[in-house]
Amino acid sequence: MDLHGWVDAYLDHLRVERALAPRTVEAYARDLGKLCALAEGEGIASPEGLDAALVATYMVKLGKEGLGARSAARHLSAVRGFTRFLLRERAIEGDPAALVTRPKMARKLPKVLSFDEISRILEAPDPKTFRGTRDRAMLHVMYAAGLRVSELVGLKLADIDRKRGVVFALGKGGKRRIVPLGEPALEAVDAWLERRQAHPRALATPALFLSPRGKALTRQGVWKLLGAYARGAGVTKPSSPHKLRHSFATHLLEGGADLRSVQALLGHADIATTEIYTHLADDHVRAVYKKAHPRS
């Protein structure tokens, strides 16, 4: 059976045994059709002629055609599925796609809010009301400490140390870290704690931030209220708790903080996760240089 025949057999396998959706099978057919066309151009008509060099050439050809890394990775997945099928059916003795590396996906840079936009959101809650006082403190703490939304809603009263000016955050994997809070955040927390004391369930609920009914807030609730305050403050960019965290990290680096310190504050296990923010900080530095230097 020639290469085209084996491709047809593999597609039947995907339809019948794997029960893949018709559109998915069609995508596999298109991708493998390109592989067959390349093989024919190289004078290869049977599976035995497939080798790592041909698969690598196929991937290079896709790149030259302007295919993005994500689409190229999908094509490679189709080829790998096909070659594994050939190996299982004993049409080939070794897998020619096994050593071909997957295209590297470019990491998306996190979008951040400017300091002015952050300031407008933080000042949006009305400090004269129960909700406003709570939300003001909550937003201040979230930005000042770069907390994840799960860490924020999980805060207990005992997690705020007013004398030391820090918050104890319980992060991923149950790891606890200490993060400093600035004076504006501490003042907002003080105002909230004073108002919280008057709540009838203040002693019964250990959560730092309470709903009017005396229950801990949910992550979804924080998302909604942050979005509402952002819109009310005239911030047109999509806003979320994680965007506040991104902004926290970026603003620290722009202000001169070193990467290791930011890693510790964010609670990242791997510094490579933190390094993505350096690109944003570098962009800021270049913009400042271009604006300020007479020969930029």
Q: Are 214 and 166 in contact (CB under 8 A)?
A: no
The 8-class DSSP code of residue 210 comes to B
What are the extents of the domains in the chain? Answer: 3-88, 115-292
Q: Are 67 and 30 in contact (CB under 8 A)?
A: no
The 8-class DSSP code of residue 28 comes to H
> What fold, for 3-88?
DNA polymerase; domain 1 (1.10.150)
What's CA 80's distance to the chain center, in Å? Answer: 27
- Give residue 283's pLDDT: 55
Task: Name the CA radius of gyration of the chain, rounded.
Answer: 28
- Give residue 289's pLDDT: 38
What pLDDT digit, counting tens, does each position of 113-135 carry? 999 999 999 999 999 999 999 99
When pLDDT is cut at 50, 70 and 90, the band that residue 189 belongs to is: very high
* Residues taking part in catalysis: 148, 172, 242, 245, 268, 277
Identical fold, 3-88 and 115-292: no
What pLDDT digit, counting tens, does each position of 53-108 carry? 888 888 888 888 877 777 888 888 889 999 999 999 999 988 888 877 776 655 56
What is the value of pTM for the model shown? 0.62
pLDDT average, residue stretch 126-148: 96
What's the rounded Cα separation, in Å, for the pair 155 and 174?
A: 13
Q: Are 267 and 171 in contact (CB under 8 A)?
A: yes
Top CATH class of 115-292 equals: mainly alpha
SS3 218: coil
SS3 40: helix
Q: Are 170 and 154 in contact (CB under 8 A)?
A: yes
